[in-house]
C-alpha cells in the first residue's frame, strides 16, 4: 500500500493545529511536551518531500515507514 507524502504532511499539519490550539495550562504537561517533540521529528522527516511512501509490515529489523 502506498501513502502519498502530501497526505502525511496534511495530517501532520492538522495535528500541529490541534496541539497549538490547546490552552497554556495543558502545554506545560509532560505528555504535551513529548507529543510536541515527536511531531517536530515527524515534520522534519517529511518536510519538503514529494512522492509516495511504501508502507511495509513491521519486523524486528525494519521500520513501518520507509522514505
Give the single-character DSSP code of 25.
Answer: H
Q: How far apart are CA 11 and CA 66, in angstroms?
A: 17
Looking at residue 57, its pLDDT comes to 53
Q: How far apart are CA 65 and CA 63, in angstroms?
A: 6
On whether the CB atoms of residues 12 and 47 are closer than 8 A, the answer is no
Residue 55 has pLDDT above 70, yes or no: no
Give the single-character DSSP code of 49.
Answer: -
Count Cβ atoms below 10 Å from residue 65 Cβ, excluding itself.
13
To the question of pTM greater than 0.85 for the whole model, the response is no
Looking at residue 4, its pLDDT comes to 73
Q: What is the pLDDT of residues 1-54, one digit of tens each?
A: 456 777 887 888 888 889 888 899 888 889 999 999 999 888 888 775 554 455
Amino acid at each position: 500500500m502506498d501513502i502519498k507524502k502530501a497526505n502525511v504532511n496534511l495530517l501532520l499539519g492538522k495535528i500541529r493545529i490541534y496541539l497549538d490550539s490547546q490552552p497554556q495550562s495543558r502545554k506545560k504537561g509532560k505528555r504535551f511536551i513529548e507529543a510536541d517533540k515527536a511531531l517536530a521529528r515527524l515534520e522534519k522527516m517529511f518536510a519538503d518531500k514529494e512522492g509516495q511512501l511504501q508502507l511495509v509490515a513491521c519486523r524486528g529489523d525494519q521500520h513501518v515507514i520507509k522514505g
